[in-house]
Amino acid sequence: MSFAEYRELIQDGDTAIVFLGHESMFPVTIQQGGQTQTKYGVLRHSTDLIGKKYGSKVTCSKGGWVYILYPTPELWTMNLPHRTQILYSTDISMITMMLELKPGSVVCESGTGSGSLSHAIIRTVAPTGHLYTVEFHQQRAEKAMEEFRQHKVDHLVTVKNQDVCKNGFGVSHVADAVFLDIPSPWEAIGHAKDALKIEGGRICSFSPCIEQVQRTCLALEEHGFTETSTLEVLLRVYDVRTISLQLPDFGKPAEVEKGDGPDKSRPVPTPQPGTAQFKSGVSPRDMVGHTGYLTFATKSLS
Ligand SMILES: C[S@@+](CC[C@H](N)C(=O)[O-])C[C@H]1O[C@@H](n2cnc3c(N)ncnc32)[C@H](O)[C@@H]1O
């Protein structure tokens, strides 16, 4: 199992996702002899999981069943242990597209945080690209490295435990893109410029507050970045629901004049006061609102 490629069968040491429903899933490390409790009973790794195909429906000891899913970065984002605030797939998809990431891209990131974005970047740039990720909190940097090893993507990522505002990314003129998710991104713009390839390259900074965005935009301009733009991604989902609506009462219709024409026999519709039921797309009352602003810019050609 690797987060950067696909394998069909569940093996000892894999990280798998136990899926009970969209609102209920969790990651599990597969171990010979290991057991996992679910509300449907126990899952025995050796007999119930190892050797089975990912995506299988597996019956637990009390008769209920779960699906065992291959771990993708999207599922990891929904299930990872939070050590910090994290980025979710809605923002991640926009970041990946606007930074033009693809297999072979070299990317610099700070901070690593809980590694939510890092996993998505690694999967996108694999098998020939690389992620340099900088985190100044020592335990977070170590935990991220441990997870990358366990998820078999450590050859695609270098974790540096240092302050990106003081010491930069530890690489010069190699990156196709830089991503910042730190409280004072404006202090890291000079280092970002240095990390980017000599000509061109894209940068993105994520900030929850507009004051942070303003300072970052000024710093981008000072360092000669162009095409600066800030956007916010809001996800609005629609549920399909059966709804009832009161029918309007337009009063008694005018009698259709009877004549010799083709609609001689047309019936006169009778108004039906009351309600009608029909299916419609309805947005939920509560939706995830503001997460942060994404500021993008391009390193100009010199
Ligand atoms: C909000 S979290 C990043 C979350 C990450 N994007 C994710 O999706 O999991 C911000 C991280 O930046 C780190 N950080 C803040 N300032 C930093 C700096 N100057 N240098 C390196 N890391 C920094 C913090 O320790 C924290 O772990």
One domain, residues 135 and 104: yes
pLDDT at 145: 98
Among 177, 194, 282, 277, smallest CA distance to 236 is for: 282
One domain, residues 83 and 59: no
Q: Is 136 in the pocket of ligand 1 (CB under 6 A)?
A: yes
Asked if residue 207 belongs to a domain, the reply is yes
Residues 6+ apart with CB under 8 A from 148: 115, 118, 122, 154, 156, 157, 159
pLDDT at 284: 81
Q: Is 89 in the pocket of ligand 1 (CB under 6 A)?
A: no
pLDDT at 121: 98
One domain, residues 40 and 129: no
pLDDT at 282: 87
One domain, residues 99 and 42: no
Atom of ligand 1 nearest to the CA of 115: 9
- Token pair of 71, please? 């771990």
Q: What is the mean pLDDT of each run of 10 residues along the chain (302 residues)?
A: 94 96 93 95 96 96 95 96 96 98 98 98 98 98 98 97 98 98 98 96 98 98 97 91 83 64 58 77 82 95 70
Asked if residue 253 belongs to a domain, the reply is no
Q: Is 300 in the pocket of ligand 1 (CB under 6 A)?
A: no
- The CATH number of the domain where 21 resides is what? 3.10.330.20
pLDDT at 248: 80
Asked if residue 216 belongs to a domain, the reply is yes
Domain count, the chain: 2
Asked if residue 242 belongs to a domain, the reply is no
Find the domain containing 225 and state its range.
75-234+289-299
**CA 9 to ligand 1 centroid distance, Å:** 35
Q: Is 116 in the pocket of ligand 1 (CB under 6 A)?
A: yes
One domain, residues 102 and 218: yes
Asked if residue 134 belongs to a domain, the reply is yes
pLDDT at 262: 55
Q: Exposed, middle or buried, 48 (CB in 10 Å: 0-12/13-18/19+)?
A: buried
One domain, residues 92 and 152: yes
One domain, residues 99 and 132: yes
One domain, residues 169 and 54: no
